[in-house]
Amino acid sequence: MEFTLNKVLQGFYKDSVALMRLSRDLVAMEGVNEAALMIGSPSNKQILRDAGLLASEGDAAEGGDLVVAIRAKDSKAAHAAAEAIEPQIMSQTRASDDDIDWRPQSIRSAAKASPDANLALISVPGEFAAAEARKALSRGLHVMMFSDNVSVEDEIALKIQARERGLLMMGPDCGTAILDGVPLAFANNVAGGEIGIVGASGTGIQEVTTLISNNGGGISQAIGVGGRDLKNEVGGISTLLGIDRLDSDPSTSHIVLISKPPGDRVLPKILDRITESSKPFTICFIGASNFNVPANATVTRTLKEAAQSALGGKSIGSEIVSKNQVSKEGKQIRGLYSGGTLAAESQVILLDAGLEVASNAAVPGASDLKNAAGMHQIIDLGDDQYTQGRPHPMIDPEIRREPLEEAMNNPNVGVILIDIVIGFGAHPDPAGQLVSMLAGTDKKNQPEIIASITGTEQDPQIRSTQVKTLQSAGVHVADSNADAAIAALQMLRVNS
Amino acid sequence: MQLIEQGNQEAIRRMLSAEPVLIDVVPAKEIVPGLKDRMILHAGPPITWDRMCGPMQGAIAGIIVFEGWAKDLDAALDMAAAGEIEFDPNHHHDAVGPMTGMTTVSQPMLVVENKTGGNRAYCAINEGLGKVMRFGGNDQEVLNRLAWIRDVLGPGMGGALREMGGIELKPLIARGLSMGDEMHQRNVACSGLVLRAIASSMAKTSKDATALSEALAFISANDQFHLNIAMAMGKAIMDPLRDIEGSSIVTAMSRNGTEFGIRVSGTGDEWFTAPVEMPEGLYFAGYTEADANPDMGDSTIVETIGLGGFAMGASPAVAGFVGAGAASEAANYTHRMGEICASENPEWTIPAMDYLGVPTGIDIRLVVETGIVPTINTGIAHREPGVGQVGAGVVRAPMACFEQAVRRLAEKLGIS
């Protein structure tokens, strides 16, 4: 039997919007067919009457009273609903679930909100990135474009637009930069100093800046240019602009260039530009064959050597991680990398030691992974084939689990090389994640694991904490990625 | 690009320099240009009888009886269906009307003059809440109230306004914003301010104490009384922008209950329309979403000038109509609308947002680029003729209108 219940709260006022919200909550309650909360004015009582909600108690209410009117399937349901709504009537504070702080939703309004900002970091899907970058550049903002999948045509047009306006166009696909001491995207908390870097490679910049910082040096600026900048099509526009900036920057005394080998038409332009400068340069084009080196430049094969050169030839790090030799039969090295340039550096070191190396991101001289039988394998887990639809291994190292298990149980593998990249943007505890993957594996007759950590004590993950975590699980920790690769060679006695 | 920026600068200049003054109340037949006998002006872009929604048809039947063109509602419906009535949008006659927006010859019209532009705009007087013609109500009670507005309230207000030299609206709005109104869904402060401004002149010019008392009581009891004044003001502010070469600023947004239409400065009087959306909101006792008519009315002119949904930050109580209902979210509505507006109004500011000016000048390019459409605060009418208002809430303008407008403007400017 349907039951209409009216409760009158004498002299109780509440705003009509609040009452309508409460009415909606009341109607949604179990067994309630219709309900309303209204101030008992004559017109409101007429509305309640029309809705079949007015009982004699409600009819007696006056203009200053609140009527809670409920029509429910029975008396019990009506009383239960009345009781349930009462605390809400007495305190209707509804805090927002969302973060109520407004965030600008366009470059236009972000620039309006921060009129002093001079750089836009763009990280939107590739198809929209170029349009956003054009807007930023036309507002006089430098651009760091984290987005990839941007066409070469757009990249060239944006870089030309930036050059015309005297701005930096870093990227597309620029993962790392440190400008005026501010780390952007994937970057580390490094010491300030006089060494400036222009790099087409994110992890390459991270490895060199952290090695410099961990060994007494410091960084003035680290300018990323994106992986394609030194290809012939793009022509090194941003690299040249970056060199110009550092060359004229009085706080930069030494300039380091980091990239994969440049295109044949770009290389001479870069070398000519270096020759024009009065500052010393270090060039690390990983995997590049010989070229004519300008008198004011030093060419290095590895990132570690680049850091040493920038530090004035200071020897850094130790190539020995353990006096142990590999106990098991396996003689192959298996590298499982999150950083593409770190993977390239290891390939170079293995190739220079006369080994046969295969990789999914092969440097000149290395073989394709398809022909890897019997070879040492260096795998770049940040390559598209692994990251389709999942985060990059620097953000989520979970991608490493499967190939790690495979390598651990492969009788031919003697040493596993692993890079742990920490800093801003990276996983909060990549060492811990690795150790958890190793937990439960049989420690006997398994490959040795050598890891290096790209990062500093000042990074959120704290380098020494990451080292301890790894060592506690029996992982050897090298001072640099290059040292890890050399240590692997020593463990396998394949190098003197 | 240059032309658009220049056009928009001029558009914003005209908007911000407008000086709207409520100067008079005059019967429509004496003042609304082009309005004739047996002609009904309605809300929204142009629409034919057969495509009108229930409340619009209900209001038309009611106003036909009110004007005495038919003896009852049935005869009125036959008359409308037989094509004996001429329909035209309010917007084509310097006028606006809330919800169904009925404007006919004998209705008293609020007259707002833009002293800067020299133009005038008109809107009928607000009838109050509940069962009223603007929400499709049409029974004897509704018609009697309209007759009283025509015979008593309208002339009384007109006389008072002429006596006092009008009410300047720009400062009134500025004060209302600081008192919690956004001038679309909440007009309680501005209605009070209008009453305060006009009361003594009404007393001075009235010859009939009973009529005066009724008029003052009517205004006092109607929290939305000021809405129609704000609408005429909006129209008076925006009309001088109606044809600025290149400008991508919206000059009108309006709905007829079937379609949503916008007009853009650089494309003149062309309408860009799309199917109107359903409001999200709260309902009066006894009604649900199932009873609701899609969005309706010329009142979106209020959002077009930066009030209503655009000024939500001034009116936290109204934020309760949508979403989680947190008053603390109100400012975000205003910030979001700032993303699609070319400028801010330095005179109409929101104290709780550190005196941020209300977002001013909807730029169709920014709407399309950001994917953010105008948020509109609105009343909700019953879908059937004759019932009236059943709720209130928030509705979004359809993106398709803005996309069409961008294409048309680009075409006009020769941009492919």
Chain A residue numbers with beta carbons less than 8 Å from the beta carbon of B329 are: 96, 98, 100
CB B265 within 8 A of CB B244: yes
Distance CA A345, CA A494 (A): 18
The contacts of residue A385 (CB under 8 Å, 6+ apart) are: A360
| Placement of tokens 């009670």 in the chain | B141
Is the Cβ pair B130, A36 closer than 8 Å? no
Residue A101 burial (CB < 10 Å; 0-12/13-18/19+)? exposed
pLDDT of residue A373: 86
Minimal C-alpha gap between A21 and chain B (Å): 7
Query: CA torsion sign, A140 to A141 to A145 to A147?
Result: negative
Determine which of A44, A94, A135 to mutate to test the interface with B (most B C-beta atoms within 10 Å). Answer: A94
Looking at this protein, which amino acid is placed at residue A175?
G
Residue B300 in 3-state DSSP?
A: coil
Give, for B354, the enclosing helix (H) or strand (E): none
Distance CA B6, CA B362 (A): 15
Which residues of chain B approach chain A closer than 8 Å at the C-beta? 130, 282-286, 317-318, 320-321, 324-326, 328-329, 331-332, 335-336, 338-339, 366, 369-370, 372, 391
Residue A21 has pLDDT above 90, yes or no: no
Question: What pLDDT, in 10s, does the model give residues B85-119?
Answer: 999 999 999 999 999 999 999 999 999 999 998 99
Distance CA A340, CA A319 (A): 22
Measuring CA to CA, how many Å separate A227 from each of A162, A459, A481? Answer: 17, 25, 20
Q: Which residue in the set A18, A35, A102 is minimally distant from B331, CB to CB?
A: A102
Confidence of residue A495 (pLDDT cuts 50, 70, 90): very low
The contacts of residue B387 (CB under 8 Å, 6+ apart) are: B55, B58, B131, B135, B136, B137, B291, B381
Confidence of residue A330 (pLDDT cuts 50, 70, 90): confident
CA angle A231/A307/A220 to nearest 5° reads 80
Is the Cβ pair B370, A53 closer than 8 Å? no
Find out if CATH 3.30.565.10 is the number for domain A104-172.
no
Is the Cβ pair B284, A36 closer than 8 Å? yes
On average, the pLDDT of chain A sits at 91
Chain A residue numbers with beta carbons less than 8 Å from the beta carbon of B312 are: none
Residue B59 has pLDDT above 80, yes or no: yes
Residue B396 has pLDDT above 80, yes or no: yes
Distance CA A302, CA B220 (A): 83
Distance CA B70, CA B313 (A): 46
Distance CA A484, CA A151 (A): 36
Domain limits, CATH 3.30.1360, in chain A: 3-90
Task: Over range A186-205, report the average pLDDT.
Answer: 96
Question: What pLDDT, in 10s, does the model give residues B161-212?
Answer: 999 999 999 999 999 999 999 999 999 999 999 999 999 999 999 999 999 9
Distance CA B112, CA A127 (A): 48
Looking at this protein, which amino acid is placed at residue B141?
E
CB B8 within 8 A of CB B249: yes
Give backbone dihedrals phi and psi of B247, rounded to 5 degrees, phi first: -70, 135
Chain A residue numbers with beta carbons less than 8 Å from the beta carbon of B372 are: 105
Give, for A213, the enclosing helix (H) or strand (E): helix A202-214
Q: Looking at the domain A174-316, which fold is it? A: Rossmann fold (3.40.50)
Query: CA torsion sign, B30 to B31 to B35 to B38?
Result: negative
- Among candidates A302, A301, A311, A304, which has minimal Cα distance to A280? A311
- Among candidates A215, A207, A167, which has minimal Cα distance to A187? A207
Helices (H) and strands (E) in chain A, counts: 17, 20
pTM above 0.90, yes or no: no
Interchain CB contacts (distance < 8 Å): A and B: 75
Distance CA A319, CA A464 (A): 18
Question: What pLDDT, in 10s, does the model give residues B135-154?
Answer: 777 888 889 999 999 999 99
Chain B residue numbers with beta carbons less than 8 Å from the beta carbon of A105 are: 336, 339, 370, 372
Question: What pLDDT, in 10s, does the model give residues A155-182?
Answer: 999 999 999 999 999 999 999 999 999 9
Q: Domain A332-491's class?
A: alpha beta
Confidence of residue A344 (pLDDT cuts 50, 70, 90): very high
pLDDT of residue B324: 62
Question: What pLDDT, in 10s, does the model give residues B241-273?
Answer: 999 999 999 999 999 999 999 999 999 999 999
Instruction: Specify the DSSP class assigned to residue A127.
Output: H
Query: CA torsion sign, B174 to B180 to B185 to B191?
Result: negative
Minimal C-alpha gap between B184 and chain A (Å): 14
Chain A residue numbers with beta carbons less than 8 Å from the beta carbon of B139 are: none
Domain limits, CATH 3.40.50.720, in chain A: 104-172
Residue A82 in 3-state DSSP?
A: helix
Measured between alpha carbons, how far apart are the two ends of chain A, in Å? 95
CB B392 within 8 A of CB B380: yes
Q: Which residue in the set A17, A35, A48 is minimally distant from B317, CB to CB?
A: A17
Domain limits, CATH 3.40.50.261, in chain A: 174-316, 332-491
pLDDT of residue A95: 52
Give backbone dihedrals phi and psi of B124, rounded to 5 degrees, phi first: -65, 170
Taken as a whole, chain A contains a residue count of 496
Is the Cβ pair A50, B336 closer than 8 Å? no
Which residues of chain A approach chain B closer than 8 Å at the C-beta? 15, 17-18, 20-21, 23-24, 34-36, 38, 43, 47-48, 50-53, 69, 94-98, 100, 102, 104-106, 108-109
The contacts of residue B97 (CB under 8 Å, 6+ apart) are: B41, B42, B43, B90, B103, B123, B124, B134, B231, B297, B298
Is the Cβ pair A35, B285 closer than 8 Å? yes
Domains (range + CATH), chain B: 19-234 (3.90.1710.10), 241-413 (3.90.1700.10)
Determine which of B220, B322, B329, B336 to mutate to test the interface with A (most A C-beta atoms within 10 Å). Answer: B329
Determine which of B5, B222, B280, B284 to mutate to test the interface with A (most A C-beta atoms within 10 Å). Answer: B284
Question: What pLDDT, in 10s, does the model give residues B314-350?
Answer: 998 888 777 667 777 889 999 999 999 999 999 999 9
Query: CA torsion sign, A380 to A382 to A385 to A391?
Result: positive
Determine which of B315, B335, B389 to mutate to test the interface with A (most A C-beta atoms within 10 Å). Answer: B335
Count of C-beta atoms within a 10 Å radius of residue B353: 18
Residue A98 has pLDDT above 60, yes or no: no
Taken as a whole, chain B contains a residue count of 416
Is the Cβ pair A20, B336 closer than 8 Å? no
pLDDT of residue A328: 67
Is the Cβ pair B325, A21 closer than 8 Å? yes
Q: Which residues pair with A427 in a beta bridge?
A: none
| DSSP-assigned states of every residue in B97-156 | -STT--B-TTSEEEEEEETTTTEEEEEEPP--SSS-GGGT--SHHHHHHHHHIIIIIHHH
Question: What pLDDT, in 10s, does the model give residues A405-463?
Answer: 999 999 999 999 999 999 999 999 999 999 999 987 766 778 999 999 999 999 999 99
Distance CA B71, CA B73 (A): 7
Residue A324 has pLDDT above 70, yes or no: no
Give, for A7, the enclosing helix (H) or strand (E): strand A3-9
pLDDT of residue A496: 38
Distance CA B75, CA B57 (A): 13
Looking at this protein, which amino acid is placed at residue B268?
G
Is the Cβ pair B370, A35 closer than 8 Å? no
Task: Over range A75-79, report the average pLDDT.
Answer: 94
- Find the residue in B nearest to A37 (Cα): B285
Residue A443 burial (CB < 10 Å; 0-12/13-18/19+)? exposed
Distance CA A282, CA A207 (A): 15
Residue B416 has pLDDT above 70, yes or no: no
- Find the residue in B nearest to A99 (Cα): B329
pLDDT of residue A385: 83
pLDDT of residue A248: 97
Minimal C-alpha gap between B326 and chain A (Å): 5
- Find the residue in B nearest to A135 (Cα): B369
The contacts of residue A487 (CB under 8 Å, 6+ apart) are: A319, A320, A321, A322, A450, A476, A478
> How big, in percent rounded to 5, are the helix, strand and coil portions of chain B?
45, 20, 30
- Among candidates B272, B267, B261, B396, which has minimal Cα distance to B333? B396
CATH of A3-90 given 3.30.1490, 3.40.50, 3.30.1360, 1.10.238: 3.30.1360
Chain A residue numbers with beta carbons less than 8 Å from the beta carbon of B324 are: 94, 96-98
Q: Which residue in the set A48, A94, A109 is minimally distant from B338, CB to CB?
A: A109
Minimal C-alpha gap between A35 and chain B (Å): 7
pLDDT of residue B386: 78
CA angle A193/A197/A199 to nearest 5° reads 155
The contacts of residue B334 (CB under 8 Å, 6+ apart) are: B310, B311, B312, B313, B314, B350, B353, B356, B358, B359
Distance CA B307, CA B183 (A): 6
Indicate the range of A49-63, A86-100, B152-166 predicted with least confidence.
A86-100
